[in-house]
Amino acid sequence: MTLLSSTLQAGDYIGFTFFTGYMSMLAASIFFFVERGQVLDKWKTSLTVSGLITFIAAVHYFYMRGVWLEEHVSPTQFRYIDWTLTVPLMCIEYYLILRPVKASSGMLWRLLAGSVLMLVTGYLGEAVQPERNVFWGVVSTLGWAVIIYEIYFGEAAKKAATSTMPSVQRGYAVMRWFTLVGWAIYPIGYMMLPGNLLSGLVEGVDLSKSSPVDLAYNIADAINKIGFGLVVYSIAKGATEEERGMANA
């Protein structure tokens, strides 16, 4: 397969979202890496991780775009490799912004465990046992529920409430909104798989020319990875300005 041999055709809106996903993720990475020099040292790692999330996604979107243009099939393996790397990094972001208020490693491991459960069982339902995708989708949702519980009711929520930085509290509220609402876009795509709850919505669609599942996933990735990183940036930038203001007072 020659990933650079095919060109984007007019009307190929799935290919368009792969291309724009690749370019926007790359642009976001450059922004986060450049802007890390504008924040205090304690927040630099958070911006580095944001840059890594979007850079990893950009590389995978480059290859996924090639798979789609060359073969017009869903690049499931590339997508789950991407998620296996980037979703845990997004969970690590919660730990990094709450580390100044003494978030524990136990909180981090619970978030990581939830993400692994969510991703592994999602892959099983989509690529290994597609005939049981409803069952594996339910199990995958339990992993997401672990994360939601931790950031809304668990240690993460309690630590965020103790922060004296208004920017951290505001940013944390938006971050967990992305995890609750933004991540909910993925199950919509998953439920369009054959035999799943929303499969009737795509009956009659020529999957060699259009993939509603990939469209949902691509939109979700752009919203969540870039948006999530921008929220982390706003936290780091705001907290830096607040701390410098207090130092100069």
H, E, C per residue of 66-90: HHHHHHCCCCHHHHHHHHHHHHHHH
Distance CA 226, CA 237 (A): 16
Residue with tokens 């979202």: 17
CATH fit for domain 13-102+166-237, picks 3.40.640.10, 1.20.1070.10, 3.40.50.720, 2.40.50.140? 1.20.1070.10
In angstroms, the Cα distances linking 23 to 17, 19, 87, 216 are: 10, 6, 20, 18
> Once rounded to an integer, what is the mean pLDDT over residues 122-150?
96
Report the half-sphere exposure of 142 (CA within 13 A, side-chain side).
8
- Show Cβ contacts of residue 214 under 8 Å, excluding neighbours closer than 6 positions: 14, 17, 18, 68, 74, 75, 189
pLDDT tens track for 46-97: 999 999 999 999 999 999 999 998 888 889 999 999 999 999 999 999 999 9
pTM over 0.75: yes
pLDDT on residue 209: 61
Q: What is the pLDDT averaged over residues 131-151?
A: 96
Q: Where are the domains of the chain?
A: 13-102+166-237
What the block records as the tokens of 64 is 């996924």
Residue 102: left if φ>0, alpha if ψ -120 to 50, beta else—which one?
A: left
Of residues 242, 225, 222, 218, the one with CA closest to residue 32: 225
pLDDT of residue 60: 96
**Chain-centroid distance, C-alpha 217:** 10
Asked if pLDDT for residue 5 goes beyond 50, the answer is no
Give per-residue pLDDT as tens, 194-242.
Answer: 888 888 877 666 655 668 889 899 999 999 999 999 999 999 999 999 9
Structure tokens at 21: 């996903």
Q: Which long-range contacts (CB under 8 A, 24 or more apart) does 149-154 make?
A: 150/107, 150/110, 150/111, 150/114, 151/94, 151/111, 151/175, 151/176, 151/179, 152/176, 152/180, 154/107, 154/110
Q: Which residue has the tokens 């984007």?
A: 8
Cβ-in-10-Å burial (0-12, 13-18, 19+) of 131 comes to: exposed
